Structure 1
Amino acid sequence: MSKKIVIIGAVAAGPKAACRLQRLQPDWEITMVDQDSLISYGGCGIPYYVSGDVSDESELRATSFHVIRDAGFFENSKGVKALTRTRALSIDRKEKTVLVENLDSGVRQELPYDQLMLATGAKPFDLPIPGVGLDGVFAIADLHKAIEIKKRIAQGKVSRAVVIGGGAIGIEMAEALTDLWGIETTLLELAPQLLPRLVDWHFATMLQKHLEEKSVAIFTRESATELLDDGQGKVCGVKTAHRTLEADLVIMAVGVRPRSELAKAAGLDVAPWGGIKVNQRLQTSDPNIYAAGDCIAVTSLITGRETYAPLGSLANREGRVVADNMAGHPSVFKGVCGSFIMKAFERCIASTGITYEAALAEGFDADYALTSPSDRAHFFPDQAVVILQLVFDRKSRRVLGLQAFGMMNDSISARVDAAAGLIAQDGTIEDFGLLEMAYAPPFSSAIDSINAAAYVAENMCDNRLRRVDLDRFLAWMDNMSIEPNWAVLDLRHPLEAAPYVEKYGVDLWTALDYGQVRARYNELPTDKTYVILCNAGTRSYEVQVFLDHLGKFDSMVLCGGLNVISRLGVDWLVK
């Protein structure tokens, strides 16, 4: 029996559900409604369109075979009716109709439905400060805004820009403005670090150092208090609590909020923060109404708590689940790990699961294994260091998250993707240690970096490895009097260690080449607690085991070693 399906929203989840449903039920009448004229585009590609990596906006709206996804495409090629420039005004759940209005003609009509899907997406958060309505102030809300930004840049109207918000979109926009166009760009972030809640502080610091090396000025713990008017209605600057920045372009990237007003007005269950509540079949509190995409609340597979994950990749998968269930093919969406990846100039940063800081806040007996292996076989040309951090629960040995920072290549995505799959299945440290990864020297080491991170975690859980917290070590380096009995045991080549011995003295910085420890360990003073240091941490652990064997238990390993420290931009490193 034919059914009428109405889908409100036609960017990601909506089109995916509509096309899947048409393939499952070709005789059903499927109508998509969207208030925009541009539909079914890759919103995550907007920063790359602005940067020039994507040359034309039409590429974000085209299929893989170069056909524009517009209303005609959906009707003629997919058998789905698309009403663009049409806004859904209200839902009558009793009569099962949606009241819509054409924004060009003003004509209203009621669309009957047997089943309804809400794919209303998200809207950008606007700062409640003076000047947000000035010309030259943009929130990355849709493709139209991106087209206008690029037009102004190409016409030479932009020389200085301020990006407000240090999340992924803000960083990508700062890169886009600086890299191709050479615009003097400043990035503001109210939190103490970039990418808050996505990565831990040391990963954010490594990213910030690289951005600053590429001429992006960054101010954390700081945000805009006012956008300044040039007297003609155009933005000319940004005022913060600490400074005034000149700007003829301001991009607000301070996060998004679910568009759930329609659902709330219809009496559907909505979380206090705005996400539409759904079950695993993505049904709302009305079983005839489904919801998917950036408008819904989802479940964290790590904590079991309600969370928000506005990503195009998830929206597409959720859209397919909705279509399956509407068509009578039971399907579930269990939740998310919260996987994230982005490029920033020549670097890549990624994470999945939760951070160490979040794990502690959630009450886990959390710890982290920090490593700095090569991203491929150490003997292979162009190998480079990748920083990995495995977050785990010491009691259950369950892995809670993985973070990575390194060169812009596929080595990080491969490890984070593999970790996401295991974390979703409550994978343990041992599961990660035994995880089979494809191996060849151009792609990885024989002992894969994700296995090596698990080995470090295992050694920590089994009390074979004692590490020093990175922030505690850095605090000591800034003020060595806070731990008067500490000293560094530097296992690197004498030529590498010598400048530090000269700078800090032998009492605070002892150099003993890794290959000589077994022969010369008796030279080490017995009244010191040593922080054992090498480039990556592997040799440090071996020496700690050896010293423990001798009954010398007063040592800690600096996991990740100088490979991590050198990427943090600390001022005490010898150049």
Structure 2
Amino acid sequence: MATTRVVIIGAVALGPKTACRIKRLRPDFHVTMVDQDEYISYGGCGIPYYISGDVSDVSELMSTSFHMLRNPQFFEKAKGVKVLTRTRAESIDRKAKTVRIRDLNTGQEDDLPYDYLVLATGSVANRPPIPGLDHPRVTSVSNLHEAVAVKEKIAQGEVDKAVIVGAGAIGCEMAEALSDLWGVETALVEIAPQVLPGVLDTSLARMVRKHLEEHDVAVHLGETVREVAAPAEGDGPLVVRTDHRELEADLVITAVGVRPSGELARNAGLAVSPRGGILVNQRLQTSDPFIYAGGDCIEVMHQITGRHFHFPQGSLANRQGRVIGTNICGGSARFPGSVGTFAVKIFDLAVATAGLTRKAAREEGFDPLFVLLVQADRAHFYPTQDLMYLAAVVDRRTRRVLGIQGVSHNGDALVGRVNAVAAIMAARGTVEDLSNLEVAYSPPFASAMDIVNALGNTAENTLDGLNRPLDPEVFEDLFFHGQDDRILCLDVRGPQNAAPFVARFGDRWINIPQETLEERLDQVPRDKQLVLICNSGVRSYEALLQLRKAGITNALNLQGGVAAIKKSGIVDLSGE
């Protein structure tokens, strides 16, 4: 009986995982990986940390947890997988079941036969149509070659100023990598009106922007790069021209996203999306049942919207590799899709999300409610507790949880919560499920009423009409930029906390502590639009109920309280 031949095109994340899974289940299968690069099986998500110096040597990104280098010899000797590097897959003949390959060193071409083919062709960095991007000091950081080149330039003292085009995850990570250790004067330019567009809603995105600026990163939002101009003579700085300003740079990094590399599949007649992503079923088969695909080159089913979307993540690639390997060996594994769980570290601030933002939910036809909560991530009396800023997006009609997002300095605590809520969303969970989510309790790890439960409770109260929330950015527009002098802040904190605000804003900011509110109702203006404010939004909610009981219904509750507007830079009384 002939040996089953499996050919895998791509050897970074999905390819090696698939190969190893196959050889563990069926050691008799002949598995060959083909990759056009000499670097294989590396952690691409670690590139910013290599450039920053947190990862000292590039080989660490290609090593196993027991410090063996994942090179072709490792795969052939330890895993029984043949690896052809510097070899490009040129085309697929589905009828003959062969792949035409070309050796990039010699130019020699050959046909590689397969019984099963796996496409792990990854993604390619987007290249915006901006004049000057072909200059040698302009680069992306989408592979190890670019990463090594960037780090060498910085280490040799050739970079004093850098401009990063794009304030998504990679752009923000690279801003930290350049400025934190190397002291490079760094500017971020983003065409959208916020950092991390499509990932965070405005309230939390403003907190991230403020954090970047506090670490000396210049952030320019709502700006389009028009040109990268070379120096008039010699080795002077480049000039990045936007529609608002000119920025000098010794290095320009483009970080404007990636797109799936589906050209090989399309040319072979396989089904691809309009965006170029290879379409697969839950078994990760393409439109040809003998060809599988996974990783960054495919589109997966979004478990909230039911639509295909591109979500390039190394974690997904590894899970999908196991599914593909199992199915090629005769199993029936399935990949159900994703809710888009995501995390990033920006200096000492963690950002984590899953599901939809409010804007995305609205575009998908939901009726979204955005709920923001600020609470300690551990018991309030425990020494290492810190505030967590956590928000949920829920559908008003069905009460379904559509999204979770947060920022926190205790990153593990935040990511743990977001991961738990992601599982709820994949199961079409509601705000009641969020309210009752079981969380392991101990003061060093959580509050007795954990922040995710409190977030669910807040969403319930809002949907049921008990809470009337006001977003921080809407408060800013009304109080600081609006012309309506009827807006009045009622601060229900203690006098000592409220005093700096009362002193600054005068009769527009009054203080009545919540515990004295019922006996001082005659001091509450009836002809004003009241904004109730406390440190986090909890005491102000109690005040809202007290006022409603007294027949005073002209009040809104500032979501996240003073903590949120300070964190986002809306109010800064640090010098007072």
| Inter-partner Cα distance in structure 2 for 1:39 and 1:572 | 49
Aligned position for 2:422: 420
Residues 351 and 411 in structure 2, CA contact (< 8 A), matched pair in contact too: no
**Deviation, structure 1 residue 232:** 5.3
What is the correspondence of 1:288-367 to structure 2 with a 5 Å cutoff? 288-367=290-369
Residues 131 and 235 in structure 1, CA contact (< 8 A), matched pair in contact too: no
Aligned position for 1:451: 453
Aligned position for 2:271: 269
> What are structure 1's unaligned runs of at least 5 residues?
none
TM-score (norm 2): 0.97
**Paired AA for residue 345 in structure 1:** F
Residues 369 and 394 in structure 2, CA contact (< 8 A), matched pair in contact too: yes
Residues 135 and 233 in structure 1, CA contact (< 8 A), matched pair in contact too: no
**Paired AA for residue 533 in structure 1:** I
**Deviation, structure 1 residue 408:** 4.1
Q: Deviations over 1:261-287 (max 9, x none)?
A: 100100111111111111111111111
SS in 2 for 1:149: helix
| Inter-partner Cα distance in structure 2 for 1:383 and 1:168 | 26
Closer, same or farther in 2 for the Cα pair 1:232/1:104, shift >3 Å?
farther
What is the correspondence of 1:202-281 to structure 2 with a 5 Å cutoff? 202-230=203-231, 231=233, 236-281=238-283
SS in 2 for 1:372: strand
Aligned position for 1:515: 515
Aligned position for 1:187: 188
Q: Deviations over 1:474-528 (max 9, x none)?
A: 111123433x43311101121222333333333x322101221122223222223
SS in 1 for 2:387: coil
| Inter-partner Cα distance in structure 1 for 2:7 and 2:192 | 41
**Paired AA for residue 421 in structure 2:** A
**Paired AA for residue 49 in structure 1:** Y
1:160 aligns with 2:161: yes
> What are structure 2's unaligned runs of at least 5 residues?
none
Aligned position for 2:114: 113
Closer, same or farther in 2 for the Cα pair 1:554/1:193, shift >3 Å?
same
Aligned position for 1:99: 100
Aligned position for 1:555: 555
1:64 aligns with 2:59: no
Residues 479 and 487 in structure 2, CA contact (< 8 A), matched pair in contact too: no
SS in 1 for 2:332: coil
Deviates more, 1:231-240 or 1:164-173: 231-240
Residues 566 and 572 in structure 2, CA contact (< 8 A), matched pair in contact too: no
Deviates more, 1:72-81 or 1:353-362: 353-362
Residues 136 and 234 in structure 1, CA contact (< 8 A), matched pair in contact too: no
| Inter-partner Cα distance in structure 2 for 1:182 and 1:504 | 38
SS in 1 for 2:219: strand
| Inter-partner Cα distance in structure 1 for 2:73 and 2:504 | 71
Closer, same or farther in 2 for the Cα pair 1:207/1:97, shift >3 Å?
same
Closer, same or farther in 2 for the Cα pair 1:530/1:571, shift >3 Å?
closer
| Inter-partner Cα distance in structure 1 for 2:482 and 2:273 | 49
**Deviation, structure 1 residue 451:** 0.5
What is the correspondence of 1:494-505 to structure 2 with a 5 Å cutoff? 494-505=495-506
Closer, same or farther in 2 for the Cα pair 1:235/1:333, shift >3 Å?
farther
**Paired AA for residue 151 in structure 1:** E
Aligned position for 1:476: 478
SS in 1 for 2:406: strand
**Paired AA for residue 310 in structure 2:** Y
Q: Give identity over the alignment, percent.
A: 50
Q: C-alpha root-mean-square deviation of aligned residues, in Å?
A: 1.4
| Inter-partner Cα distance in structure 2 for 1:233 and 1:125 | 27
Aligned position for 1:564: 564
Residues 203 and 471 in structure 2, CA contact (< 8 A), matched pair in contact too: no
Residues 134 and 234 in structure 1, CA contact (< 8 A), matched pair in contact too: no
Closer, same or farther in 2 for the Cα pair 1:352/1:162, shift >3 Å?
same
Closer, same or farther in 2 for the Cα pair 1:158/1:123, shift >3 Å?
same
**Deviation, structure 1 residue 199:** 0.7
Q: Deviations over 1:169-200 (max 9, x none)?
A: 11101100000000111111111111110111
Deviates more, 1:276-285 or 1:43-52: 276-285
**Paired AA for residue 451 in structure 1:** N
| Inter-partner Cα distance in structure 2 for 1:119 and 1:259 | 9
Closer, same or farther in 2 for the Cα pair 1:528/1:239, shift >3 Å?
closer
Residues 376 and 384 in structure 1, CA contact (< 8 A), matched pair in contact too: yes
| Inter-partner Cα distance in structure 2 for 1:365 and 1:242 | 36
1:374 aligns with 2:376: yes
| Inter-partner Cα distance in structure 2 for 1:90 and 1:275 | 17
What is the correspondence of 1:29-40 to structure 2 with a 5 Å cutoff? 29-40=30-41
TM-score (norm 1): 0.97
| Inter-partner Cα distance in structure 1 for 2:237 and 2:124 | 22
Residues 350 and 404 in structure 1, CA contact (< 8 A), matched pair in contact too: yes
SS in 2 for 1:72: helix
SS in 1 for 2:296: coil
| Inter-partner Cα distance in structure 1 for 2:206 and 2:472 | 12
| Inter-partner Cα distance in structure 1 for 2:61 and 2:307 | 34
**Paired AA for residue 122 in structure 2:** G
**Deviation, structure 1 residue 246:** 1.2
**Deviation, structure 1 residue 375:** 1.5
Residues 472 and 564 in structure 2, CA contact (< 8 A), matched pair in contact too: no
| Inter-partner Cα distance in structure 1 for 2:55 and 2:492 | 47
**Deviation, structure 1 residue 27:** 0.3
Aligned position for 2:287: 285
Aligned position for 1:4: 5
**Deviation, structure 1 residue 416:** 0.5
Closer, same or farther in 2 for the Cα pair 1:440/1:526, shift >3 Å?
same
| Inter-partner Cα distance in structure 1 for 2:483 and 2:193 | 26
What is the correspondence of 1:51-90 to structure 2 with a 5 Å cutoff? 51-90=52-91
| Inter-partner Cα distance in structure 2 for 1:326 and 1:315 | 16
Residues 379 and 445 in structure 2, CA contact (< 8 A), matched pair in contact too: yes
Residues 293 and 312 in structure 1, CA contact (< 8 A), matched pair in contact too: yes
| Inter-partner Cα distance in structure 1 for 2:315 and 2:526 | 56
**Deviation, structure 1 residue 351:** 0.6
SS in 2 for 1:386: strand
Q: Number of residue pairs matched?
A: 573
**Deviation, structure 1 residue 448:** 0.6
Residues 228 and 235 in structure 1, CA contact (< 8 A), matched pair in contact too: no
Residues 514 and 542 in structure 2, CA contact (< 8 A), matched pair in contact too: no
| Inter-partner Cα distance in structure 2 for 1:297 and 1:390 | 25
SS in 2 for 1:535: coil
Aligned position for 1:16: 17
1:436 aligns with 2:447: no
Deviates more, 1:329-338 or 1:514-523: 514-523
| Inter-partner Cα distance in structure 2 for 1:31 and 1:141 | 25
Residues 193 and 205 in structure 1, CA contact (< 8 A), matched pair in contact too: yes
| Inter-partner Cα distance in structure 2 for 1:345 and 1:29 | 45
| Inter-partner Cα distance in structure 1 for 2:261 and 2:234 | 33
**Paired AA for residue 40 in structure 1:** S
Aligned position for 2:386: 384
**Paired AA for residue 558 in structure 1:** L
| Inter-partner Cα distance in structure 2 for 1:500 and 1:561 | 13
1:464 to 463, 466, 470: 466
| Inter-partner Cα distance in structure 2 for 1:563 and 1:503 | 17
